[in-house]
Chain A
């Protein structure tokens, strides 16, 4: 992953840009997209209870990385959809999905020694697509670029609202 800040900023920029088109897409919904951008990194629970530890304790195969795939993310964000008020579900599902999708795609561009990424489309496919290897998860550059873009979007949105008033 690029760091979570980069993911949150990307989701912020995307959702805020969409708010130019969709009038209902107010700040609370931008927040939902940002929360969605965290969803695939639920896989980091591995740092607390490693997959191998769970395997040994339960005696069955186990890998938290399922959470960092299309299937795992969809089920995870369904939990968020269940938790919100019924009237909000459609919008919340769309924005959580936007955030999670932006995360999975940004991570598919990460540099990997093998030249292959990770199976983001699982369970549809176990293919690890080739990665352009644009950055490392520990590089600050993606965050800096995302922050610059998010700032431009923030200012442009302010100007638009002011002009509309």
Chain B
């Protein structure tokens, strides 16, 4: 198979695929609320135009501002924010937790929760740290098993070792610039 074997054809193919991805993101962005398909109104639409969704189901996420009564902040359009009161929250919540709520929008500023749970900030810290570590792990494995050759990724016949890296960087023997 010799298709897409030159650097130029690869660059063109990648550019085409990136353009396709961009198109998919635009297409997906044009989708709206579809409760019949499980796509309920989120803070992105409840924030700017709550009146349209009063009386119906909404699903919201945002930080807890206060606990008595429970209020949460939702952000939308990047920088705009509103604070809503959430009733019928049966799970314990602390200010700063991320609250995720599914319920009925009773009026423009109140949600009666059907399901609600809170994620403490430490949970996000855990996820970010562990994900970063796994990124390093897989990158290391990629560098060990694959190498770049004229713009293409080629499998190494001999896995790259730490000694191999040292030799290549010229710090194996004399180590004079340490």
Q: Which residues of A contact B (CB under 8 A)?
A: 3-5, 7-8, 27-28, 31, 34-35, 38, 50-56, 60-67, 69, 71-72, 75-76, 78-79, 82-89, 111-117, 119, 122-123, 125-130, 136-140, 143
Q: Enumerate B1-24 residues with CB–CB distance to A below 8 Å.
A: 1-5, 10, 13-14, 17-18, 20-21, 24
Partner of B28, one of A3, A50, A69: A69
Whether A113 touches B18, Cβ cut-off 8 Å, given contacts A38-B138, A66-B25, is no
Q: Which residues of B contact A (CB under 8 A)?
A: 1-5, 10, 13-14, 17-18, 20-21, 24-31, 34, 37-40, 44, 57, 59, 61, 76-78, 100-102, 115-117, 119, 123-124, 126-127, 130-131, 133-135, 137-138, 141-142, 144-146, 149, 151-156, 159
Q: Are A53's CB and B24's CB within 8 A?
A: no
Q: Are A84's CB and B152's CB within 8 A?
A: yes
Q: Are A4's CB and B155's CB within 8 A?
A: no
Closest 8 CB pairs of A and B: A138-B123, A128-B38, A116-B38, A61-B29, A28-B145, A66-B28, A113-B102, A5-B134
Partner of B137, one of A8, A78, A111: A8
CA–CA, A138 and B20, complex, Å: 32
Residues from chain B with a CB closer than 8 A to the CB of A128 are 37-39
CA–CA, A4 and B2, complex, Å: 35
Residues from chain A with a CB closer than 8 A to the CB of B134 are 3-5, 7-8
Most buried by B among A28, A53, A84, A117: A28
Whether A75 touches B28, Cβ cut-off 8 Å, given contacts A38-B135, A113-B100, is no
CA–CA, A125 and B2, complex, Å: 35
Partner of A140, one of B24, B44, B77, B126: B126
Instruction: Say how far A99's CB is from chain B's closest CB, in angstroms.
Output: 10
